[in-house]
Amino acid sequence: MSTTITETRRKSVRQLVHGHGGIVALLAILLFNMAFTPNFLQLQTLFVNISQVATIAIVAMGMTLVIATGGIDLSVGAIMALAGALAPLIFLSEFGAANPALGVTLAIALPMLVAIACGLFNGIMVAKLNVQPIIATLILFISGRGIAQVLTNGNLQTFTNPHFSYLGTGKVLGLPFQGWLAIGIAIFLYFIISRTTFGRYVLAIGGNERAAQLSGGPVALVKIGVYMICGALAGLAGLIVVAINSASDAARNGSLMELDAIAAAVVGGALLQGGRAPIFGAILGAVIIQLVKYTLLANGVQDEVALIAKAGIILVAVYVQQARKE
């Protein structure tokens, strides 16, 4: 009798860990930090982490949508660099200097349009030409950053523009603006996924693309739309990074972001085969990735070792997923 009770209890604990592995991992990291990392429980730490998490989370949400259709987008980091390189070029130009308000507006709008166009390119390659997503997005992964560097001649662009910098340094109700932005985007995307036909098709394509096609769904259009959303979010993240630094470095902006975004999406519960779009999971994943990075750095672990840790996280997260499926 008592053994069965402990067994069921053990089972429920296991289920809890299984279903909410991400949250358990998050709590573990938080507890570890409270115990060992000096000055962890300070507002400053919170601000630093929120402003870093927001960019990862914004890109990871787009990645989650792409992964939900069974795809992948390697070009997000390059799109960040491209959008980030364009913005200062626009508001630092003669026209931008003469019309500050219009200049900043254009410096946000035009890079976003370019980012969306990049997504459109990826989407057409994948949905119309049937190129594998890894390869299709590889094209912009390679050349996108190159274009950004050609545009800026490889130079670091520094600037002081408080209006534009609000994207990265502004505060609403005491918390960083981009954190609110990320939450707003998450709520919006959650609504799209759960309440609209578009959202249902995203999940249907990932579940069984052929079936979605045979039932008359606009598979190609939905896929293109998903890559465009992912491109737009990457562009936004690129602008935020530039705004945080008050400088645009095309060589470094968004470098390796595709890995962080994929890792965050997977840790958040996205299945690489598609069919699931846990938007809030992507935020949770981004928080975990950022906290692991922060924990290692704050405890004096080298950057390079942090890379190995990230590799380990990705492997464990995918392995747990795989094991759960079987």
Residues of the shown chain interacting with other proteins in the complex, contacts defined by CB under 8 A: 72, 125, 129-132, 134-136, 138-147, 149-150, 153-154, 259, 262, 266, 272, 302-308, 310-312, 314-315, 318-319, 322, 326
What is the distance between the alpha carbons of residues 304 and 290, in angstroms, rounded to a whole number? 15
Q: Please state the closest distance from residue 266 (CB atom) to other proteins, in A.
A: 8
Cβ distance to other proteins smaller for residue 110 or 306: 306
Q: Please state the closest distance from residue 257 (CB atom) to other proteins, in A.
A: 13
Please give the biggest Cα pair distance in the chain: 81
Q: Please state the closest distance from residue 255 (CB atom) to other proteins, in A.
A: 10
Q: Please state the closest distance from residue 8 (CB atom) to other proteins, in A.
A: 29
Cβ distance to other proteins smaller for residue 6 or 325: 325
Cβ distance to other proteins smaller for residue 224 or 244: 224
Q: Please state the closest distance from residue 223 (CB atom) to other proteins, in A.
A: 16
Task: Give phi and psi for 93, each to the nearest 5.
Answer: -70, 170
Three-state secondary-structure class, residue 165: helix
Cβ distance to other proteins smaller for residue 192 or 276: 276
Cβ distance to other proteins smaller for residue 117 or 183: 117
Cβ distance to other proteins smaller for residue 156 or 187: 156
The DSSP 8-state label assigned to residue 156 in this structure reads -
Q: How far is CA 164 from CA 109, 115, 248, in A?
A: 12, 18, 12
The amino acid sitting at 196 is: T
Cβ distance to other proteins smaller for residue 277 or 296: 296
Q: Please state the closest distance from residue 6 (CB atom) to other proteins, in A.
A: 31
Give pairs for 159-166: CB < 8 Å, separation 24+: 159/88, 159/91, 159/92, 159/246, 159/247, 160/246, 161/91, 161/104, 161/246, 163/100, 163/101, 163/104, 164/87, 164/91, 164/104, 164/107, 164/108, 164/243, 165/243, 165/244, 165/246, 166/243
Query: In degrees, to the nearest 5, what angle opens at C-alpha 90 toward C-alphas 87 and 95?
Result: 160
For 263-311, give the DSSP string: HHHHHTT--TTSS---HHHHHHHHHHHHHHHHHHHHTT--HHHHHHHHH
Q: Please state the closest distance from residue 18 (CB atom) to other proteins, in A.
A: 17
Cβ distance to other proteins smaller for residue 178 or 260: 260
Q: Please state the closest distance from residue 125 (CB atom) to other proteins, in A.
A: 8
Rounded (10°) angle between helices 279-298 and 303-325: 150
229: nearest Cα among 2, 67, 107, 17: 67
